[in-house]
Amino acid sequence: MSSKTITMFGADWCRDCIRTKKQLDELGVEYTYVDLVADPASADVARDISGRTNIPVVLYPDSSHQVEPSNADVEAKLRELSLI
């Protein structure tokens, strides 16, 4: 994972994941999506990052992360990082 990239760990059955993915798409933010259904082993990576099993896990370029973030939380972080 590049240190200049947002990485989102999620699954297509997760409503919070669908919402966060849609928000990133609508804001035109580039990110890497890790589909935990297609790549179940990546769930361990997401858990190692967050210390939790909840998704989505959004990993930011500054190495911070959010778990199950609200749209407002994501937008605030993207503004903090000058990504929007």
Q: Which stretches within 1-84 are classed as H helix?
A: 15-27, 42-50, 71-80
* Average pLDDT, rounded, for the chain: 94
Percent of the chain with pLDDT over 70: 96
Give residue 71's pLDDT: 98
* Prediction pTM value: 0.93
- Is the bond preceding 56 in cis, omega lying within 30 degrees of 0? yes
pLDDT tens, position by position, 6-31:
999 999 999 999 999 999 999 999 99
